[in-house]
Structure 1
């Protein structure tokens, strides 16, 4: 317990020194260690420093904590907190610590985990924007028509399980707070501004607003988008279709796959036609190919090293084929490349697609979480996104395979193969920048299928070790030439 000797965390605008010390040494390390969005999940609780605390009005209101994990490569996290005044611990939300107030006991709680504290947070942002104090705090709030105002508890709904960010539905808007911070404009905010504006891509949620910290350098903290009423994400719906095999579900799956191909083609067209330098297509250079293959060598080597000694039989089979892998990578370079590179979704999979009654909407443009902002903003051939979605279809087969129903498994694999073919055929027919040479398209797709599969291996090792056999099986299949490609 922390004795606040008052009713708030701060003295004036500054976090009290004794409160800061207690939080850093006793309470925040364990709290962060247990969060899904905290990157360093293994080992012991981290060493942390509160680098900055921004106290919002009124006094005793929300405090924005910027917490640095002290490692060789320091990482900053965003945790807005508030005091929940109650004699008993909250039963439905995690809390950071108990606090003693002049008026009784309370609990320090993450404001993104508690509805009443989140309402206080939104009210504080709105009040500071209107009275002009927000800029004095080093914050910038942008609001467009549809941005939620005068939020009440009945407007707020938490969405699903905790992910790498924290998302809440607020009236008809989606509020997303980025937990792991990096300097500069966040790729998802940059993409949302472009696609909602000059990109004119209708099949993504419209941007309603954003919150940025301006000093000592710009950092994106939150964004707000229009909520899309939907039947669920494409991952869940595809799994439903294939786990209940019948002619109606098969037809609906192929229809969905075609729609995915069409909307993916529309997206890639929008991302290649921008007049701004950041959103215009460029020729692929030989130096690009050389870099992508060199990066793949490095990732394959690191992945195989991490798999040495793994108890899985599949992992050991892949490790023993190291030299064969190196040989396969050497053969991945296309002889000639006339295609273009552009900005992409960057982490495209079935879970990033919302399915409505008659359409699909593509969401979450922040890119692969293990990559830096610079890497996520880099331009690539559209085949990188295509590889991501094909690998997502493969994950469906592997997930259903876990049921142990052999007859269902073989049917699922055949149905998913048809769905992938439908997706590829529709994409090829509608993508304005599709390569003139089918051989070139397939060479690039093969390269990025290897790249995505080994990214997945590293991701699963560090985040979901029980799933690592799925991408390992995918890597073995690639080595054996089992890959979905565009038909010639």
Structure 2
């Protein structure tokens, strides 16, 4: 119960447990839970389509086969694009358009890429949904034959796309991210800085100055840890040295995670981010670019700030619920608040690194003016109006338990809009810089009582151009403050779902924790940021910070209404607390 650890299911045989003297275990018995939704499902191999090849990868391209085999080539290519790939892509967690089926997956660009051991078909796949809208994905392909490497055929598992036959050979066609030889070849090519011409562009393998130090020269011997079901990216670790992140859905432009990673690694040598060893870029014939993969140092850590915070709150709520044994000790959060202060300092140091004048116009800071604040205020106001309208339309589809709060927020519409509009008069001093862009507790790793900041991709819903825009550093600060609120309420709702009688005792304690964590974070941030000229004194930056907190809460509300109705209550409560005088 206390550790929230799942034990093996109880069967017909005796259930054996070993305990030391005076030890005990406290269990909650419950029916087996269903597997999490969104898991990548693997069809039995015998149910997968069969692609009949006759000349390896060349079988898929009519211009690479003899004339009398063109019809055969077109047939197998059509089967791949209309049968095998659509079924595979639709089941991936990285497929973004989950609300519609996949009609066709076209090989928009491709190259057969060879190493000493194997060859792969590296493709950019244009995925067309039933609505006719298209998205482009990075989808490298591999072939494995049973008579050559049966172990690999079996290891490809959920990466398998189709069965394959070629004369007497039987095997599989699969996503090459399940092929550890491909991943190692990708890293080696980055170290060599090679370029590979494709049908309609080229692959650019680009190391940073830190590649040799981070990766070493023995890539071929590093054991690979292959990914399980993941989300928008695919991550493969090579030993305890590096990890490769494959970006699946592609957008035009340089991914900010690569651009910022190179800046922090090569230019300012910022110590509290994960160093970047290199990247793989795609350059189209028309000059458009897209980032395919990123290579970074593997960092041993104690988990994310989010997981650490939830574990801390789980233990704290358990103690706080025991009212008969006295209130929690006043120093119960001292360890956490010390870490929160450190996190604030590291955030300030990151922003100071972004504020350096290095001669790179993509990163050099620019003055923040009143016109910027006016534009931000107007945008937040427009977003708030749109979200409140959406909330009103969907009110009856939301959980009944939160509808009264929904009505309260809708009734406070004018107050919210006026509160936002008032910030147009805030002071416009300070600077605009690059920033993290999607900053929260899940984007920091706890490492030896300190923090490493990760995942500089920015908000996934925005274009690459929007993510690269300079902004007030306080936007990141607001994101972290909202993350403390999310963590507290996530832990609170989980706890009271099992102990509803303890809600009154733990809710006020949770709010006190949130206030202390936020204050400690802001104290640490202010110490560094003010000293580096990033912000005014804390009291003077309060107004602009509130604008960005409101913006973040409005964004969260929109996201939850659209995607996770059961989570609407967290940003809803956050907005009500601000408007009704709470923190």
Q: Please give the TM-score of this superposition, normalised by the length of structure 2.
A: 0.75
1:183-219 C-alpha deviation (Å, 9 max, x unpaired): 2211111101111122231111111111111223222
Q: How does 1:140-289 map to 2 (within 5 A)?
A: 140-143=204-207, 144-145=211-212, 146-147=214-215, 151=219, 155-158=223-226, 162-171=230-239, 172-216=241-285, 217-245=288-316, 250-275=333-358, 276-289=360-373
Post-superposition offset of 1:416: 2.3
Work out whether 1:54 is the aligned partner of 2:111: yes
Pick from 83, 88, 101: which aligns with 2:143?
83
- What is the alpha-carbon distance in structure 1 between the residues aligned to residue 380 and residue 192 of structure 2? 50
User: Aligned residue for 2:54?
Assistant: 6
User: Aligned residue for 1:304?
Assistant: 388
Instruction: Note if contact 2:82-2:103 (Cα within 8 Å) is conserved in structure 1.
Output: no
Instruction: Note if contact 1:334-1:440 (Cα within 8 Å) is conserved in structure 2.
Output: no
Pick from 457, 463, 466: which aligns with 1:372?
463
Q: How does 1:300-339 map to 2 (within 5 A)?
A: 300-307=384-391, 308-309=393-394, 310-312=397-399, 313=403, 314-339=405-430
Instruction: Note if contact 1:98-1:107 (Cα within 8 Å) is conserved in structure 2.
Output: yes
Instruction: Note if contact 2:388-2:410 (Cα within 8 Å) is conserved in structure 1.
Output: yes
Instruction: Note if contact 2:366-2:433 (Cα within 8 Å) is conserved in structure 1.
Output: yes
Post-superposition offset of 1:62: 1.8
Larger radius of gyration: 2
Post-superposition offset of 1:127: 6.5
Pick from 363, 368, 374: which aligns with 2:454?
363
Change (3 A) 1:126 1:470: same
Root-mean-square deviation (Å):
2.9
Q: Secondary structure at the match of 1:268?
A: helix
Work out whether 1:423 is the aligned partner of 2:521: yes
Instruction: Note if contact 2:339-2:449 (Cα within 8 Å) is conserved in structure 1.
Output: no
User: Aligned residue for 2:324?
Assistant: none
Post-superposition offset of 1:90: 6.2
Gaps of 5+ in 1: 484-488
Instruction: Note if contact 2:190-2:206 (Cα within 8 Å) is conserved in structure 1.
Output: no
Instruction: Note if contact 2:51-2:79 (Cα within 8 Å) is conserved in structure 1.
Output: no
Number of aligned positions between the proteins: 480
Q: Secondary structure at the match of 1:331?
A: helix
User: Aligned residue for 1:100?
Assistant: 165
Instruction: Note if contact 2:426-2:544 (Cα within 8 Å) is conserved in structure 1.
Output: no
1:281-317 C-alpha deviation (Å, 9 max, x unpaired): 2112233223212322332233334332232314454
- What is the alpha-carbon distance in structure 1 between the residues aligned to residue 190 and residue 356 of structure 2? 38
Q: How does 1:388-407 map to 2 (within 5 A)?
A: 388-402=479-493, 403-404=495-496, 405=499, 406=503, 407=505
Q: Secondary structure at the match of 2:140?
A: strand
Q: Secondary structure at the match of 1:279?
A: coil
1:212-236 C-alpha deviation (Å, 9 max, x unpaired): 1122322211111111111111111
Change (3 A) 1:418 1:207: same
Work out whether 1:387 is the aligned partner of 2:387: no
Q: Which moved more, 1:383-392 or 1:144-153?
A: 144-153
Instruction: Note if contact 1:7-1:60 (Cα within 8 Å) is conserved in structure 2.
Output: no
Post-superposition offset of 1:420: 0.9
Q: Secondary structure at the match of 2:350?
A: helix
